[in-house]
Amino acid sequence: MSETLPDPAPRRKRSGVAIPFILAAVVAAGWSAGWWWMRGEAMRRMDETARVLGDKGYRLTWTERTVSGFPFRLDVNLKDAAVSEPSGWQLTAPLIKGEAYIYRLDHWVLVAPQGLTFTRPDGGAVIVQGRAMRASLADFDKHPPSIMLEGVDLTFNPEAGAKPYFLSAARQLNMKIMAGPDDLGGVLLHIGGARMALEGLAARATEGGVVDMDLDLTLTRMSALAGEDWEGAARAWAARGGVIQVRQASVGGGAARLSAKAGTLTPDANGRLSGELDATLGDLTGSGQALQGRVSLSDGKARIGPLEVGPAPRVW
């Protein structure tokens, strides 16, 4: 009696085992090539932007640029970065670090880890330092684009020979600029623990000039805000009927808080705001006392009723 041996199991083709690895290698090679292409494209666009701005009188410069972040991000580091516009405003920083995910190149996060300096046309340079200084830029196809600024434990120190700045320090700063429907733009601003140079009654009421400030504004006709420099853009915006609608504005410190709302402001020929706001001057000690009145801006001055409290804010 003879035994029949079973047929040997069929051998798995080696080519079938290798296919997933080949596909992975192809995908990795394609991804790497795509990342390097986007890296080059980002650098090309930066150079083109600097050239276009230069043709319009602006300047965007840096002494050294590195781009990294493979495989999922683009990380751009600029040393000695500077941007300026024709009317004299300038922003400089020893280092700017930017980051964007490759699938969302319309959303950038920027950090100034060593602080920055901004220069005013008539006031000189102010050095800004802080524990955290960040910005977020997105929606570049909108007008205005989405801009978010954040600062923690900030100090503002004018350089030697520069004019004083209205802030010397702030515990927290948050600002958001966004586009809205019907050619509107929104501005939200919060400054907490701001130390201001106040005198007399204002300094006593705010316990030495430490205040919290909040603004909620809507700007009309944002598409008209365009020009060769900031003053030109602001004048064009005002000439087209652009106004600032105040939804809420408040400043408070110590035992007092001034709140204003429901008003429309327009810049005058000198760039200072004019208009009137409903206002409430309240006592935060719990007494419940509050005074109702009007905040008026005219002739370059700000008044609460008949009392002059300072210069009107400037747009340019």
What integer pLDDT is reported at residue 16 of this predicted model?
Answer: 63
Q: Is the four-CA dihedral 98, 234, 126, 194 of positive or negative sign? A: negative
What integer pLDDT is reported at residue 259 of this predicted model?
Answer: 86
Question: What is the arithmetic mean of pLDDT over 101-115?
Answer: 92
In this predicted model, what pLDDT tens digit does every residue of 53-88 receive, in sequence order?
Answer: 788 788 999 999 999 999 999 999 999 999 998 888
290-298 and 307-311 strand pairing: unpaired
In this predicted model, what pLDDT tens digit does every residue of 30-53 receive, in sequence order?
Answer: 888 888 998 998 899 889 988 887
pLDDT for 202 beyond 60 = no
Answer with the residue of higher pLDDT: 19 or 7: 19
What integer pLDDT is reported at residue 50 of this predicted model?
Answer: 87
Residue 172: pLDDT band (50, 70, 90) is very high
Q: Are 263 and 275 in contact (CB under 8 A)?
A: yes
How many angstroms separate the CA atoms of 79 and 316, rounded?
A: 30
pLDDT for 24 beyond 80 = no
Give the CB-side neighbour count of residue 243, counting CA atoms within 13 A: 11
How many angstroms separate the CA atoms of 104 and 27, rounded?
A: 20
How many angstroms separate the CA atoms of 283 and 252, rounded?
A: 10
What integer pLDDT is reported at residue 87 of this predicted model?
Answer: 84
Burial class of residue 40, CB neighbours in 10 A (0-12, 13-18, 19+)? exposed
Which amino acid, one-letter code, is at 230?
Answer: W
Domain coordinates of the chain in residue numbers? 61-269
Residue 198: pLDDT band (50, 70, 90) is low
The percent of residues in the chain predicted with pLDDT above 90, rounded, is 54
